[in-house]
Amino acid sequence: MNFPVNAIDHVLGMADQHLDNYIVPGLTSSLLENGKVRLFSMSRAQHQAITPHSHRFDFQCLVLRGEVHNIRWTRSDHDEADAYVATKLSYGFEPGRYTRGGWGIGRYTCESERFGAGDWYGQAYDEIHSVVFSDDALVLFFEGQMITQETTILEPLVDGKHLQTFRVEPWMFLSRAK
């Protein structure tokens, strides 16, 4: 499904409070209207991984343009599943501000699902996912009410060592000048 250019232009015109390089280079997150709807727009092919994470709220997404690969992570009892450290992050009420909390070790598997223009996808606050956006992707992100202040992230456990892959870098979450 292709959305009419005027519909996409209308949504783009509602975008405000832009945060550039939102987790990965080239991804911009913009609020629409009341702050509960975000618009994700990608300006380049995504090559960096997004750390598997949960959200503090349920959400639904509508792909307006391009493709999204949503990768769901689930706990597994199988020995061949990879080991991860699941860490709780407490949200500091601004993008990229977290305090690390409790953690646990578990085995996880993942499944990827592709979504194109016109497709919806979503998840509950306690489900863990990572996502890959195509070049020129445009996605409406409908954020539900906050259910918890904690996010869970998954980081690899290799040879008994916790590899802390989750980072907040100075180039992330840059507020665009008006």
**pLDDT tens readout for residues 133-152:** 999 999 999 887 889 999 99
> What is residue 58's predicted lDDT score, i.e. its pLDDT?
86
**pLDDT tens readout for residues 162-172:** 999 999 888 88
CA distance 30 to 98: 20
> What is residue 119's predicted lDDT score, i.e. its pLDDT?
94
Phi-psi region of 136 (alpha: psi -120 to 50; beta: other; left: phi over 0): left
Contacts of 145 by beta carbon, 8 Å cutoff, 6+ apart? 57
**pLDDT tens readout for residues 68-115:** 999 999 999 999 999 999 999 999 988 888 999 999 999 999 999 999
Tell me the domain boundaries of the chain.
5-175
21 or 170, which is more confident? 21
Q: Which residues pair with 86 in a beta bridge?
A: 104, 154
Domain 5-175 in CATH 3.30.70.1350? The answer is: no
> What is residue 7's predicted lDDT score, i.e. its pLDDT?
66
